[in-house]
Amino acid sequence: MKILIVEARFYGDLADEMAAGAIEAIEASGGTWDRISVPGALEIPAAIKLAHDGDKVAYDGYAALGCVIRGETTHYDYVCGESARGLQDLALQHNIAIGNGILTVENADQAWARANRSEKNKGADAANAAICMAKLKTEFGVKS
């Protein structure tokens, strides 16, 4: 199983912690991984689609990692909704195995509680979801 970790670097420390959790989960399952970065959560679905459509490396699944923290404007709502919609559209329309690890939180404390490997470890959760969905694709004989 080869998983591509696609991480938004807008909050670099959070991204690193979530990626560490994802890497641990992938390696614990016997899989391998590559890791790429994009500027923010809105770019994650496009990066996954580019990787999926490319002919350089075939990935079994994708772990989407990022964080959106509510601010003073409605930008939060658009980023949360559109990044989630983009990932779901890819999964449904193109049969791509994706684990959504984009945190949508009110503040930094909530983000860290979800990102920390010693707490909720959402990076590992996203990787495990990608692995689970990739296995289902194989079980059902689905092609992308």
∠ CA 116-76-46, nearest 5°, is 80
The CATH fold of domain 2-140: Rossmann fold (3.40.50)
Enter the tokens of residue 38. Answer: 């994009």
Residue 23 labelled as part of a binding site: no
Residue 41 labelled as part of a binding site: yes
Taking the alpha carbons at both ends of the chain, their separation in whole angstroms is 15
Tell me, yes or no, if 94 is annotated catalytic.
no
Q: Among residues 8, 9, 10, 24, which one has the least CA distance to residue 116?
A: 24
Question: What residue type is 142 in one-letter code?
Answer: V
pLDDT tens for 49-100 read: 999 999 998 999 999 999 999 999 999 999 999 999 999 999 999 999 999 9
pLDDT tens for 87-144 read: 999 999 999 999 999 999 999 999 999 999 999 999 999 999 999 999 999 999 998 7
Q: In a 10 Å sphere around its CB, with 0-12 CB exposed, 13-18 middle and 19+ buried, how is residue 74 labelled? A: exposed
Residue 43 labelled as part of a binding site: yes
Residue 79's Cα: distance from chain center in Å? 15
Threshold 0.85, pTM exceeds: yes
Beta strand residue intervals within the chain, DSSP E: 2-8, 32-38, 61-69, 98-105
Strands of the sheet with 2-8, listed across from one edge: 32-38, 2-8, 61-69, 98-105
Residue 42 labelled as part of a binding site: yes
Catalytic annotation, pick one of 28, 34, 46, 75: 75
Three-state DSSP at 39 gives coil
